[in-house]
Each structure stands twice: as C-alpha cells, then as structure tokens.
C-alpha cells in the first residue's frame, strides 16, 4: 500500500465514522454562479483556463451515458489536474460554529486564491448526487450554467434563449414560412377587399 492509498483508507474510515452526524447542505448555485461570472470577466488567465478544464472534466464525469472506460479515463485526467493543488486548512468561526476551510498557500496571488476557492467549490458539488449532471454550457453563448431549478435548462439567460429562438436556422425557416403565409393571406385578403370596393363603386 503506497502513501496515497493509506491516506485514502484513513479518509474512508473517518468518513464512515462521521457519516451519522454529517449535515448535508442543500444544493445551492451561488458558489458556482460566482465562478461562472469570474470566468466570463477573466477568461484568459491561466487560473481561469485551469478551472474551465476542470469544469469540462466534471461535466464529462457527470454524463449519464459515459461508458466505463471513458469514466476511468476522465477520472484519471481529473486526478492529474488536481495533483497540482496544495491546500492548507484553517479554522474560522462562522454562524454555524467553527468551520474548517481549505485555502491556498500563504502569499498566493489574488488569482491563485480565487482558483483554490473555485476548485474547492466545484469539488463540493461531488457531495450532491447528480449535481455534476447539472453543470453545462449554454447552447447559445457557450457560457457556463448550473441547472439548479430545471434539470433540462439549456440557456444561461432569457436573452440567450430568445437569441437562439430567433436565429436558429430551423426555427428561422419555420418563422419565415409563417410570415410568408401570413403575407400571402394578407395579400389575398387585400385583393378581395379591393375587388369588393371596386364592385361597390361600379
Ligand atoms: Zn448564454
């Protein structure tokens, strides 16, 4: 048994002991929403890029149709991606009592602090069954979203939903066909009206 396996075994034993008193927090999207807005504002920092590739891996792992081999592969990539992080733990008083908080190393830059907090927040999703399956990209802008209220949510905003609705080629064709039909019907109606007027004036 290597050092890592020993640590894992220790963790599993502790976790089994703690299970009874574990309070599970309700699933909440405020943490991930904060991460998404940071990614939108700072898409090109190395920290944002790493967090985005972590997100991609988590989405992959949350996929329902993922085969056994692909799952093992995604898990191995996630482990490799997480290997770089060296968390330090500290305790802080909060409204819920004293809590342990995982932090970046002392002297870390603001971007690094953000990255550690983001990774921590994303890994917290693993505590909730099915949470990873709610992580996805918006079908319009490809920005991230967390489908908290509706598991089939496809867009990050009403604007993105409307945009795709107005610009989707298939829908656009249908809309044009409808407009053309309305136009043709209006034309017939107008001609009929004209004819009727002509009839009357005659
Ligand atoms: Zn969007």
According to the model, what pLDDT value does residue 15 have?
66
* Ligand 1 midpoint to CA 26 (Å): 26
* Ligand 1 midpoint to CA 55 (Å): 16
* Ligand 1 midpoint to CA 114 (Å): 23
According to the model, what pLDDT value does residue 202 have?
44
According to the model, what pLDDT value does residue 191 have?
77
* Ligand 1 midpoint to CA 162 (Å): 10
* Ligand 1 midpoint to CA 178 (Å): 27
* Ligand 1 midpoint to CA 41 (Å): 14
What residues does each domain of the chain span?
28-164, 168-201
According to the model, what pLDDT value does residue 173 have?
62
According to the model, what pLDDT value does residue 164 have?
81
* Ligand 1 midpoint to CA 138 (Å): 5
According to the model, what pLDDT value does residue 65 have?
83
* Ligand 1 midpoint to CA 67 (Å): 29
* Ligand 1 midpoint to CA 139 (Å): 7
Give the DSSP per-residue string, the chain: --HHHHHHHHHHHHHHHHGGGPPPPPP--HHHHHHHHHHHHSTTSHHHHHHHHHHHHHHHHH-TT--HHHHHHHHHHHHHHHTT---EEEEEEETTEEEEEEEPPTT--HHHHHHHHHHHHHHHGGGSTTSGGGEEE-TTT--EEE-SS-TT---SSHHHHHHHHHH-HHHHHHHHHHHHHHHHHHHHHHHHHHHHHHHHH-
Tens-level pLDDT at each residue, the chain (202 residues): 777 777 777 777 776 665 554 455 678 888 999 999 999 999 999 999 999 999 999 999 998 788 899 999 999 999 999 999 999 999 999 888 999 989 999 999 999 999 999 999 999 999 998 899 999 999 999 999 999 988 899 999 999 988 888 887 666 566 567 677 777 777 777 777 777 665 554 4
- The domain defined by 28-164 folds into Jann2411-like fold (1.10.3300)
CA distances from 72 to 55, 68, 104, 178 (A): 17, 6, 28, 49
* Ligand 1 midpoint to CA 47 (Å): 22
């Amino acid at each position: 048994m290597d050092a890592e396996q020993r640590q894992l075994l220790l963790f599993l034993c502790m976790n089994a002991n703690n299970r009874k008193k574990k309070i599970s927090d309700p699933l909440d999207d405020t943490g991930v929403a904060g991460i998404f807005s940071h990614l939108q504002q700072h898409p090109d920092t190395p920290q944002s890029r790493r967090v985005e590739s972590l997100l991609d891996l988590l989405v992959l792992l949350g996929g329902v149709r993922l085969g056994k081999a692909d799952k093992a592969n995604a898990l191995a990539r996630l482990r490799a991606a997480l290997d770089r992080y060296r968390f330090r733990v500290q305790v802080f008083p909060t409204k819920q009592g004293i809590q342990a908080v995982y932090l970046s190393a002392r002297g870390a830059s603001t971007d690094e602090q953000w990255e550690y907090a983001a990774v921590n927040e994303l890994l917290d999703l693993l505590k909730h069954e099915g949470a990873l399956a709610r992580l996805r990209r918006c079908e319009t802008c490809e920005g991230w979203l967390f489908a908290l209220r509706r598991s089939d949510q496809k867009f990050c905003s009403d604007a993105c939903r409307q945009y795709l609705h107005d610009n989707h080629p298939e829908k656009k064709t249908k809309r044009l066909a409808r407009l053309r039909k309305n136009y043709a019907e209006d034309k017939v109606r107008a001609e009929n009206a004209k004819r009727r007027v002509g009839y009357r004036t005659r």
